[in-house]
């Protein structure tokens, strides 16, 4: 799949414009929701929400509404609600992982302490559901809550399989579908629901979101080994150090020749934090085709995502269609 230079440029412009409008929606919603509230709560939410971030999820909501024929203030408010949930999960993740930084700044947990961080996540979770209930009714809320439930389920699956080198590719995809893709699928589906899209359109966008979300996670797992720490803001090999078995490793174990397989299992059984372990592991993953297979899976997923958009006949919403395709392409190409 190739995305034209023109589409890429247009995506960049639209992304900046939408991010600005979604941030306006968040700021105005937070201001009204916090009337009479404690100033510390306002300070923490400001810090957590407006600290940057790619705003890919709200962009997906907005484009999913637009392609179904609607783009107004309510669409940006829905996008804001979905971004709140994303921020809430990042805050709770940083508590769970004892993360000191997030997006190049101190994490909420590190700056304000654990109690404040857990509670801020809970507040955003509640506000997110409140808005989604108001905007999309019980049906939308049901889609959303199933997605957040699936996220938790995916995290549990991952926790239970930590360090399990017998993890299959199938199980890996089942984990990432739940923990990452379910919410992105809901993000797209809710955009379609708000816009009054047909059931077919809702499902097509849900499928697009699911595939894009899975591709996003596969690329994330690749970047964990191959990324530049300065660009990603994350330590290289972090997943491996935490015992997360991801696709490059699963693929390498499945394809490696006998000698390399033995070296891989020895490395995995040894001291993971030893200075040269991670570097040697990367060499073995490259040699056994682990990175190659993961990249090829990500490409397949992006292809499936784009194919799901076929139900949208080319016409007046051609631009939204092209931008959704461009996002899928961007996900494959991203370096951070």
Sites of contact with its own copies (CB under 8 A): 33, 37-38, 40-41, 44, 92, 95-96, 114-116, 118-123, 125-127, 129-130, 133-134, 137-138, 141-142, 145-146, 148-149, 152-153, 155-157, 159-160
Closest distance between its own copies and the C-beta of residue 211, in Å? 20
Decide if 204 contacts 311 (C-beta within 8 A): yes
Closest distance between its own copies and the C-beta of residue 270, in Å? 24
- Name 102's bridge partners: 105
β-pair type (105-106, 101-102): antiparallel
Closest distance between its own copies and the C-beta of residue 319, in Å? 32
Dihedral through CA 114, CA 120, CA 121, CA 124, nearest 10? 180
- Kindly list the distances between the CA atom of residue 290 and the CA atoms of 26, 226, 271, 303, 323, in Å, as whole numbers in the listed order: 41, 12, 21, 20, 30
Closest distance between its own copies and the C-beta of residue 116, in Å? 7
Nearer to its own copies, 106 or 261 (CB): 106
E strand or H helix at 100, and its extent? none
Nearer to its own copies, 129 or 268 (CB): 129
| Residue 130 CA from chain centroid, whole number | 22
Nearer to its own copies, 127 or 210 (CB): 127
Strand, helix or coil for residue 180: helix
Concatenate the DSSP letters of all residues of 309-331 into one string. GGGS-SSTTHHHHHHHHHHHHHH
Nearer to its own copies, 124 or 223 (CB): 124
Nearer to its own copies, 43 or 200 (CB): 43
Nearer to its own copies, 29 or 263 (CB): 29
Nearer to its own copies, 104 or 138 (CB): 138
Closest distance between its own copies and the C-beta of residue 249, in Å? 21
Measured on CA atoms in the order 60, 62, 65, 67, is the torsion positive or negative? negative
Closest distance between its own copies and the C-beta of residue 106, in Å? 18
Closest distance between its own copies and the C-beta of residue 140, in Å? 9
Decide if 298 contacts 248 (C-beta within 8 A): no
Which tokens go with 7?
């589409």
Decide if 54 contacts 184 (C-beta within 8 A): no
Query: What is the DSSP-derived secondary structure letter of residue 234?
Result: S
Decide if 91 contacts 117 (C-beta within 8 A): yes
Closest distance between its own copies and the C-beta of residue 241, in Å? 16
Task: Give the Cα separation of 237 and 224 in Å (integer).
Answer: 5
Nearer to its own copies, 55 or 109 (CB): 109
């Amino acid at each position: 799949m190739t995305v034209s230079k023109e589409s890429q440029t247009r995506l960049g412009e639209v992304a900046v414009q939408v991010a600005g409008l979604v941030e306006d929606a968040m700021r105005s919603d937070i201001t009204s929701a916090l009337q009479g509230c404690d100033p510390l709560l306002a300070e923490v939410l400001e810090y957590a929400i407006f600290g940057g971030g790619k705003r890919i999820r709200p962009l997906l909501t907005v484009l999913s509404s637009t392609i179904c024929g609607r783009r107004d203030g309510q669409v940006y408010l829905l996008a804001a609600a979905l971004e709140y949930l994303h921020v809430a999960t990042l805050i709770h993740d940083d508590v769970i992982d004892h993360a000191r930084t997030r997006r190049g700044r101190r994490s909420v947990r590190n700056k304000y302490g654990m109690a404040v961080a857990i509670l801020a996540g809970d507040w955003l979770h509640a506000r997110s559901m409140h808005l989604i209930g108001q905007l999309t009714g019980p049906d939308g809320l049901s889609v959303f809550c199933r997605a957040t439930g699936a996220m938790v389920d995916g995290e549990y699956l991952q926790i239970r399989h930590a360090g399990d080198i017998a993890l299959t590719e199938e199980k890996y995809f089942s984990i990432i579908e739940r923990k990452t893709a379910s919410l992105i699928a809901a993000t797209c589906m809710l955009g379609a629901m708000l816009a009054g899209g047909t059931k077919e359109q809702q499902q097509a966008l849900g499928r697009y979101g699911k595939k894009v979300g899975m591709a996003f996670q596969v690329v994330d797992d690749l970047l964990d080994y191959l990324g530049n720490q300065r660009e990603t803001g994350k330590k290289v090999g972090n997943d491996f150090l935490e015992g997360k078995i991801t696709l490059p490793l699963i693929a390498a174990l499945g394809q490696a020749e006998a000698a390399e397989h033995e070296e891989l299992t020895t490395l995995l059984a040894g001291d993971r934090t030893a200075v040269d372990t991670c570097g040697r592991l990367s060499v073995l993953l490259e040699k056994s085709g682990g990175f190659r297979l993961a990249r090829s899976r990500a490409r397949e997923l992006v292809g499936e995502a784009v194919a799901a958009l076929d139900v949208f006949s080319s016409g007046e919403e051609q631009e939204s269609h092209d931008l959704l395709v461009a996002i899928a392409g961007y996900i494959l190409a991203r370096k951070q």
